[in-house]
Structure 1
Amino acid sequence: MEGISNAVELQICEVRACDRTEATATVRNLRGSVFRSARFRRVSDSPDPIDLELTGIIWYGRAVDEILAGHTALVTLRGAAAPILRSGNLSDGWQSIEGCNA
């Protein structure tokens, strides 16, 4: 991972499942390569810090360890902030989460 920026950002497109500590969502990668185990500390529509870990990535039907910039994937995020994630749309806009690769 040498030479790869640690700053990452995912746009939440659709939250498919969510409970108190885990969310499964379709996301679009807005910045850098995002690796499994990335940690997210900020959500775009809240000033409060969050703590979510990217624990799984499905890209075109197969499990992978990375989402390249500009690509869309189905991801699993774990942490207490999972319930604050929401699906986006044209009228309300899209939520994004920011963090860094671990």
Structure 2
Amino acid sequence: MATIKLTRLKAINNEDNVGCDHPYLKLDDAVVWGPQRVCEEFDIDLAVGRSFSGAVTVELWEEDDVDSDDLLGRHSLSSGSGSVEFTRDGAHYTLSYSIS
């Protein structure tokens, strides 16, 4: 059994053209953080951890009121540490993580 720790989310560019985003993170289809109001160039310290076997899927979504939520990206992780980027729909976010 391994444990993933999500440590920092950096918003470089918002997905929404006007105003701030309301992103949320999922690990294997379960919401583990957010939605929270985030504007461009925000750095958010996270303290999210979860055990898993094999690999874990990390997704970043942007909550929308009018239509369905937007998937900003998906990554499958199984070991190591570093960061992944989410760049769909004009957004640009970086998520730092470590797996032990």
Query: Does the pair score TM above 0.5?
Result: no
Please tell me the TM-score bracket, short chain as reference. Answer: 0.3 to 0.5
Length-normalised TM-score, structure 1: 0.34
Length-normalised TM-score, structure 2: 0.34
Query: Which structure dedicates a bigger proportion of its chain to strand?
Result: 2
Select the structure of larger CA radius of gyration: 2
